[in-house]
A = this chain, B = another copy of it.
Amino acid sequence: MKKIKVGIIGATGYAGVELVRLLALHPQAQIVALSSVSYEGKRISDVYPNLKDICDDVLENEDIIDRCDVIFTSLPHGLSEKFAGKCLDKGVKMIDLGADFRLDSAEEYAKWYNKQYEDEKLHTQSVYCIPELHRAAYKNQPIIGNPGCYPTSIALGLAPAIKYAVDNTVVIDSKSGVTGAGRGLADNTHYPNCNEAFSPYKVASHRHTPEIEQTLSKLAGKKVNVTFVPHLLPVNRGIVSTIYFNVKEAMTAKQLHEIYSEFYKREKFVRVLASGEVANLRNVKYSNYCDISVHYDEHTQRVVIVSTIDNMVKGAAGQAIQNMNIMFGLEEKCGLEYIPPAF
């Protein structure tokens, strides 16, 4: 079989270079072009010396679409639409790792991102896809909006049970490794400032909130409001979302566990832990797995779900490749069977 020809626009961002790491060994894909505005003309292994002798491709400008079957865009919000337009024109598929194809509502996008969609038609040809939840919604749309890292951990953690939740009781306390903040230098990611430190940020005002509520509302069949507070965790990788909600009727921990086990029983990349175990980001890092543990606090009739992923794999590049596999009719797990290391 001929390999899928892949191009990456924004290859030197953190999600971009993680795509390179995973795609370079993908048995059915082949990187044919890498684009970077900041580093045009340099080899990617000059920017990321871990890639020396493995991928020494020269970074190009943005005119790479012609040579590709699929383009991954990994760009700050607001920059993907123009590439989407070009891809559509040329019959090239596109998977956007940014925020521009995640929200159904142009109003919500404008409100949270301070920017208007420039070409609303484009958005009618895209689909938002967490494979475990939305693969059935993929009907050969040429554009996939790859989900955000926090929303992935949260949607997978809540999908089986959101319908049991009492309205407006969902509280989500998420913690993300520092790669989530990206490659750009900033005071709060300067080593002495975030090592031996910990705090929330963007309390109840993070841009992933509408994406989370959109997914949960669809799953629940009604508007779901949540309080979402992300925290910056002094580790390189990984997200842990601790999710709280009250249930309408008391249940047993066993019932709750069965709901989750049943829901995910055919999923390779979602592991529902045995009762009594607690999900730890340690067990998923560098892999495409999502580990979920379920807990029930009887004295408050409140469910506690712990959902953990690697923010750069299942939360970004890995899930994007899983979506590429769907787009091209491959097995979803193809090229993604990395085993999380023990340490």
Measured CB to CB, the residues of A under 8 A from B are: 14, 17-18, 21, 24-25, 48-55, 168-169, 171, 173, 175, 177-179, 183, 185-187, 189-201, 203-204, 225-227, 229, 231, 233-238, 240, 242, 244, 246, 268, 271, 273, 277-286, 291, 293, 295-297, 299-300, 302, 304, 306, 308, 312, 337, 339-343
A53 / chain B contacts, CB cutoff of 8 Å: 268, 271
* Complex Cα gap A201–B279 (Å): 9
A271 / chain B contacts, CB cutoff of 8 Å: 52-53
Copy number in the complex reads 4
Tell me if A192 and B179 are in contact (CB < 8 A). yes
| A227 touching B300 in the complex, CB below 8 Å, given contacts A278-B201, A341-B50 | yes
Tell me if A226 and B300 are in contact (CB < 8 A). yes
List 9 A-B residue pairs with CB atoms under 8 Å apart, sorted by A's residue number: A49-B283, A52-B273, A173-B173, A178-B192, A193-B343, A203-B295, A204-B296, A234-B235, A286-B341
* Complex Cα gap A227–B302 (Å): 8
* Complex Cα gap A314–B118 (Å): 51
Tell me if B343 and A295 are in contact (CB < 8 A). no
Tell me if B281 and A198 are in contact (CB < 8 A). yes
Residue from the set A246, A277, A283 with the largest chain B CB neighbour count within 10 Å: A283
A293 / chain B contacts, CB cutoff of 8 Å: 203
| A304 touching B49 in the complex, CB below 8 Å, given contacts A282-B196, A282-B199, A343-B237 | no
A234 / chain B contacts, CB cutoff of 8 Å: 191, 195, 233-235
Tell me if A191 and B171 are in contact (CB < 8 A). no
The residue that A192 contacts in the complex, of B54, B203, B236, with Cβ under 8 A, is B236
Instruction: Report the minimum CB–CB distance from A198 to chain B (whole Å).
Output: 5
